[in-house]
A and B are shown apart, each in its own frame.
Chain A
Amino acid sequence: MATAFEPKIVGFLCRWCSYAGADLAGTNRMKYPSNVSAIRVNCSGRIDPTLVLKALSLGADGVLIAGCHPGDCHYTNGNIKTLRRFKLLQKMLDQYGIDRKRVRLEWVSAAEGEKYAQVVRSMTDEVRTLGPLNWKTKVELAA
């Protein structure tokens, strides 16, 4: 009997807001599923949409990008650039036939530990329902 599917979600968290918010969730001992592994970047603006697609192609079932609320970016407006790129990325996902719900952009401030926990919980549930992406397998089958 195969084990139940547990999604693997890559998280890109900005150092100044969302990573700190995630830490706060920990300090407050909030509980959330362990499916999201966080990579700390200085700014969500570091995230090139191709990195997201590559992450999915390497085996991720979902990608979470978390940044500061608009207006609060430590680097003035990096998060706005992320937002612009995200909109285009969504169109690319549609073209690839990848469900948009697999890639999320969330604004989490350093004070929003609860929000981070909520995001992880809801995203994990959603991606679990969508099932494994299996990008590599799909590409092989198509070839």
Chain B
Amino acid sequence: MPAKRIGVFICHCGLNIAGTVRVKEVVERASKQPNVVFAVDHKYLCSEPGQTLIRDSVKQQHLDAVVVAACSPAMHETTFKNVVQSAGLNRYSCEIANIREQGSWVHDDSDKATTKAHLTVRQSIEKVRLNEPLQPITVPVTRRVLVIGGGIAGIRAALDVANGGYEVYLVEKSGTIGGRMAQLSETFPTLDCSTCILGPLMVEVYRHPKIKLLRLARVEEVSGYIGNFKVRVHQEPAYVDVAKCNACGECAKVCPAELPNEFDLGLTWRKAIYTPFSQAVPPAYVLDAKNCLGLLPQACGECKKACDEFGTSCINLDAWPQTHELEVGAIIVSTGYELYDATKLTEYGYGIYPDVMTSLEFERMLSASGPTAGEIRRPSDGHVPREIVFIQCAGQREPETALPYCSKICCMYTARHAMMFRHKVPDGEAYVFYMDIRAGGKGYEEFVKRCQEEKGLLYLRGRVAKVYEENNKLIVKGVDTLSGKTVQINADLVVLAVGMIPSSETHDLASKLKASLDANGFFSEAHPKLRPLESPTAGIFLAGAGQAPKDIPDTVAQASGAASKALDLLSSPTLEREPTVAKVIGELCSGCGICIPLCPYTALSLNPKTKVAEVSEALCEGCGTCIASCPSGSLSLRNLTDEQILAMVEAMVAT
């Protein structure tokens, strides 16, 4: 129903508009437009009296549509729509004509500015004339949250949501929660024992009545939309009853299958039946079916025999994988990171020389629960290294050949590593090759300074060109740019601070979630400053290193932030979405299907029965790209139809 009684309100905005645009003239010309029954100007329409004027005019003049010619809609569109709604009209009966930011402020000439203002007002009149009255789309909200990834970010987010009163599913791919933080020995800058601060949180998650932990689980499929996600999760069995297992280890003693232990990055061995690490949560053993000698048919069964005889009889080799169909309203993604493959850095010889290690491997070595019970030893011969070289920025900040970005944490953990080395090997010498020192957090600079001033620890500003082996030593050839000399260090051990990359499942998960990834494969945030905790995909929130390299304090803060966003989403049983979405006139649709693959939100589908296109109003974000592709004109965008656009164009160009 086109509007028949349009009211036009022209704002002076003090002198911002009136200083250049002849407002009275615009009012006069507007009043002559078809179906404009009322036109008036005001000094400040956004003010209380201004808003009252609009409200009263709507009622008194029986207006059915309003045009406000003022500042950019980015400023007060919502304000004026609210005013109009409070006067009893549908919000979409109000259009804003931008005669300030794109009018009086950019055109000097009064004649030209006035003419343009008039054209802009005419344009808005034509649009509002054809606007449909629309109601926001209400969708129900499933008040449950899914957290993907059980590292410190996932743990913190899950606890916050659960403490906020809602149920959480925590899906973790490995046999235990804890993630990377569990692999750390200490944390900078306080040198807190990592497990001591992480352990209690892991137990809290495990015991929390509102958190359902699904470990050995992966997300298989995600469908639905914000407030209404349906997630299929595939869970492998542990083959061990968690309630009965007391982690006695009798099963592992007899297991014949041995393989490199992932937790220790291959520096130690584990059996096919194992506990991921001694403080694993759940505190039970897990059977790694892929590396077991065989379950179908059963090839061995020694573990079960041992457990029945000496243990608690908690092994069941006939368990099956489970599929869980979860319904949640919000998803928090906390999938964490891995390390860049150091074998690609051929100049350092990682993978060729056993005494070249990555920082995480060195970390495991430092750990009391690690491969050497916390002693620093050379992997090649087990001797204590006296001279150790740390290379920062290994394969990072190198856009031509490796990672272009900085991983943020390496300067800090290298300082910690060098410090720990000096404590454990008091007569040792440590050299740190660095490009810059990035120590921006609280207490970070002070910590690094302490390390730089430590005896026996030398910081060299320069890069390492090459590492090679000679006479059982690692010859490190680098440069010290501050003295301008090349440097050669005959080291016993070399530690590479390699970059953080998104964990391997990220790419797959992102396509399942339809959440975008940035150029480096990390989950994209909707806006780095305005919306750092959410994916552009509505209902998906981000926490931790899966979004970008960061340290533990930032991870925990982001996780709590993401949880609060999820709680906000869940705070009401329903959700309102903008109704300016796509619409299909079924009778006109030929079922050609051109529009279907264009939608970035998969909001379009071809109905298998009627064979015409259908729009999911909850998924549609109103971009309009499908409309532009439709050959039959059956697709239109509510309140921005082709008819409206052409009417606006005509208002502008017709003489």
**B109: which of A34, A47, A71 is its contact (CB, 8 Å)?**
A34
Q: Does A104 contact B (CB under 8 A)?
A: no
Q: How far is the CA of A37 from the CA of B598 in the complex (A)?
A: 29
Q: Which listed residue (A33, A40, A59, A77) contacts B73, Cβ 8 A?
A: A40
Q: Would you mind naming 8 contact pairs between A and B with Cβ atoms under 8 Å apart?
A: A10-B649, A23-B98, A33-B112, A34-B116, A46-B624, A48-B629, A75-B623, A76-B600
User: Is A92 close to B, CB under 8 A?
Assistant: no
User: Closest CB-CB distance, A46 to chain B, in whole Å?
Assistant: 3
Residues of B within 8 A of A (CB-CB), count:
46
Whether B623 lies near A34 (C-beta < 8 A) is no
Within 8 Å by CB of A46, from B73, B623, B649, B654, lies: B623
A42 pairs with B650, CB closer than 8 A: no
- Name the CB-closest residue of A to B637: A46
Contact of B624 among A34, A45, A60 (CB under 8 A): A45
- Return the chain A residue nearest B642 by Cβ: A51
Interface centre among B109, B119, B621 (most CB of A within 10 A): B621
- B225 shortest CB reach to chain A, Å: 15
B120 within 8 A of A: yes
For the residues of A in contact with B, the DSSP-based class is mixed
Q: Are B628 and A47 in contact (CB under 8 A)?
A: yes
Q: Are B628 and A81 in contact (CB under 8 A)?
A: yes
Query: Are A26 and B102 interface neighbours, CB within 8 A?
Result: yes
Contacts of B74 in A (CB 8 A): 19-20, 23
Contact B116 A59 (CB under 8 A): no
Q: Is B248 an interface residue (CB 8 A)?
A: no
Contact of A39 among B101, B123, B600 (CB under 8 A): B123
B627, closest chain A residue (CB): A46
How many angstroms between the C-alpha atoms of A20 and B108 in the bound complex? Answer: 21
Flag if B102 contacts A8 (CB, 8 Å).
Answer: no
- Given contacts A78-B625, A81-B598, whether A26 and B105 have CB atoms under 8 Å apart is yes
Nearest A residue to B112 via CB reads A34
Q: Name the contact of B627 in the complex, choosing from A10, A48, A60, A85 (C-beta under 8 A).
A: A48
Given A48-B628, A76-B516, A39 and B645 touching (CB < 8 A)? yes
B645 touches A75 (CB 8 A): no
Q: CB within 8 Å of B: which of A52-89?
A: 54-55, 58-60, 71, 74-78, 81, 85
Is B622 among interface residues, defined by CB-CB distance under 8 A? yes
A127 within 8 A of partner (CB): no
In the complex, what residues of B have CB within 8 A of residue A46's CB? 623-625, 627-628, 637, 640
A42 in contact with B623 (CB, 8 Å): yes
- Interface residues of chain A, those whose CB is within 8 Å of chain B, are 8, 10, 19-20, 22-23, 25-27, 29-34, 37-43, 45-49, 51, 54-55, 58-60, 71, 74-78, 81, 85, 117
Residue in A closest to B651 when the chains form the complex, CB atoms: A37
| B238 is an interface residue with CB less than 8 A from chain A | no
Q: Mark B65-98 against chain A: 1 for CB-CB distance below 8 A, else 0.
A: 0000000111000000000000000000000001
Cα distance, A138 to B625, chains bound together (Å): 32
B642 contacts which chain A residues (CB < 8 A)?
48, 51
B115 at interface, CB cutoff 8 A: yes
B101 touches A42 (CB 8 A): no
What B residues does A10 contact at CB under 8 A? 649, 652-653
> Does B417 have its Cβ within 8 Å of any Cβ on chain A?
no
Across the A-B interface, give the 10 residue pairs with the lowest CB-CB distance, nearest first: A46-B624, A26-B101, A45-B625, A59-B653, A75-B623, A48-B628, A26-B105, A76-B600, A43-B623, A23-B101
The reply to whether A58 and B653 form a contact with Cβ atoms under 8 Å apart is: yes
Q: CA of A25 to CA of B598 in the docked complex: distance in angstroms?
A: 32
Contacts between chains A and B (CB distance < 8 A), count: 126
Mask: chain B, 588-620; 1 = CB below 8 Å from A; 0 = not: 000000000010100000000000000000000
Residues of chain B within 8 A of A78, CB atoms compared:
600, 623-625
A48 CB contacts on chain B under 8 angstroms: 627-629, 642
A24 to B350, CA, bound (A): 51
In the assembled complex, B646 has its CB within 8 A of some CB on chain A: yes
B536 on the interface (CB 8 Å rule)?
A: yes
Q: Chain A residues with Cβ under 8 A from B536's Cβ?
A: 74, 76
By a CB distance below 8 angstroms, the chain A residues around B123 are 37, 39
- Whether B622 lies near A42 (C-beta < 8 A) is yes
| Cα–Cα distance between A132 and B107 once the two chains are bound (Å) | 22
Chain B residues, CB < 8 A from A117: 106
A81–B120 touching, CB < 8 Å: no
Give the Cβ gap from A12 to chain B, nearest Cβ, in Å: 8
Q: How many Å lie between the Cα of A32 and that of B615 in the bound state?
A: 41
Whether B624 contacts A37 by the Cβ 8 Å rule is: no
Bound together, the chains give a CA A46 to CA B365 distance in angstroms of 58
- CB-contact partner of B600 in A59, A71, A77, under 8 A: A77
A25 to B126 Cα, complex, angstroms: 26
A26, A27, A43, A59: which contacts B655 (Cβ < 8 A)? A59
The answer to whether B106 and A30 touch across the interface, beta carbons within 8 angstroms, is yes
**Given known contacts A23-B74, A46-B637, A59-B654, A37 and B116 CB-to-CB distance under 8 angstroms:** yes
Q: How far is the CA of A46 from the CA of B600 in the complex (A)?
A: 13
Residue of B nearest to A48 (CB): B628
Question: B residues within 8 A CB of A47?
Answer: 628
Does the CB pair A27–B101 fall under 8 Å? yes
Contact partners of B107 in chain A: CB under 8 A: 31-34
13 more contacts with CB within 8 A, not counting A25-B101, A25-B106, A78-B624, are A10-B652, A23-B74, A26-B105, A27-B101, A29-B105, A33-B107, A41-B640, A55-B653, A60-B653, A75-B621, A76-B516, A76-B600, A81-B598
Which of these, B106, B580, B621, B645, contacts A29 with CB under 8 Å? Answer: B106
Whether B410 sits at the interface, judged by CB under 8 Å, is no
Residues of chain A lying within 8 A (CB to CB) of residue B102? 22-23, 26, 38
Option from B108, B116, B600, B624 in Cβ contact (under 8 Å) with A31: B108
Residue of A nearest to B120 (CB): A37
Contacting pair A75 B649 (CB below 8 A): no
CA of A19 to CA of B75 in the docked complex: distance in angstroms?
Answer: 13
Q: Which B residues are CB-close (under 8 A) to A37?
A: 116, 119-120, 123, 652
Q: Is the CB of A34 within 8 A of B652?
A: no
Question: Would you call B364 an interface residue if the criterion is a C-beta within 8 Å of the partner chain's C-beta atoms?
Answer: no
Chain B residues contacting A23 (CB-CB under 8 Å) are: 72, 74, 98, 101-102
Write out the residue numbers on chain B whose beta carbons fall within 8 Å of the beta carbon of A51: 628, 642, 645-646, 649
Distance between Cα atoms of A36 and B647 in the complex (Å): 16
Distance in angstroms from B583 CB to nearest chain A CB is 14
Per the bound structure, the CA–CA distance linking A36 and B109 in Å amounts to 15
- Give the residue name and chain of the B residue nearest to A80 (CB): B625
A117-B640 Cα distance, complex, nearest whole Å: 26
A75 engages B600 (CB within 8 Å):
yes
Of B100, B628, B649, the residue contacting A60 (CB under 8 A) is B649
Q: Is B161 close to A, CB under 8 A? A: no
Q: Distance (Å) between the CB of A36 and the closest chain B CB?
A: 9
Measured in the bound complex, the distance between the Cα atoms of B637 and A43 in whole Å is: 12
